[in-house]
Amino acid sequence: MTAAEAAALLAAARDHPRLGAYVILSLTTGIRTEEARALRWDHVDLDGDPDARLPVPPSIAVWRSVRPHGDTKTEKSRTLALPQNAVTALREHRKWQAEARLAAGPLWQDTGLVFTTSVGTPLDASHVRRDFRALCKKAGIDGIWAPRELRHTFVSVMSVSGVAVEEIARLAGHASSKTTETIYRHELRPVITTGADVIDRIFISTT
């Protein structure tokens, strides 16, 4: 997605009670859709520790997924700082889930998962795809999109913003930047202009 489409999707996602936080988290952190569906509340820290000697930001620990045996795609688990809009979305989502738990009563299944159905059960991939496409339509984004596009969009935004491919690889949980370059070659900026951009800003007054 373009930056404008991503912004429109984020705006539309804020009003979706069940999938909104899922979309916002995936788009702003680049986690895989199977990692998002397996995320547990005990791996979410929405407060951090700002008073620590080395301040700790709000974060999520991506340690497992819904792949066979609960493994992530690679052995490289990671803890990711959360952007403020993701923190806000997850706080609101936690309120929605608490209300859903009360409404479900004895039907509620306490799985500990962040993203669930209205009775606490894990989200099905097909239901996520359906709701995601409805959100894209609401945001005015043409075409048929899949949740995995959120990760591709994250990589693209990071690259366009000048983030080095090595750092993008760390954020994406890849074992090496070569993996990132192979999988996301269409999303990565082909010409590295960061150095030129910085030099132009520094020396623009001397030319």
Judge whether 64 counts as a catalytic residue. Answer: no
- Active-site residue (options: 16, 18, 22, 32): 32
- Active-site residue (options: 16, 18, 37, 174): 174
Nearest alpha carbon to residue 130 among 152, 149, 150, 145: 145
Judge whether 174 counts as a catalytic residue. Answer: yes
In the Cβ-directed half-sphere of 119, how many Cα atoms lie within 13 Å?
8
Whether 177 contacts 165, CB under 8 Å: yes
Per-position DSSP letters for 53-98, written without gaps between them: SS-B--EEEE---SSGGG--SSS--EEEEPPHHHHHHHHHHHHHHH
Judge whether 95 counts as a catalytic residue. Answer: no
- Active-site residue (options: 40, 43, 64, 73): 73
Return the number of other C-beta atoms located less than 10 Å from residue 160's C-beta. 13
- Active-site residue (options: 18, 37, 78, 151): 151
User: What are the two backbone dihedrals, phi and then psi, of residue 142, each rounded to the nearest 5 degrees?
Assistant: -75, 155
Structure tokens at 152: 């591709």
Judge whether 73 counts as a catalytic residue. Answer: yes
Judge whether 138 counts as a catalytic residue. Answer: no
Residue found by looking up tokens 């407060």 in the block: 47
- Name the residues annotated as catalytic: 32, 73, 151, 174, 184
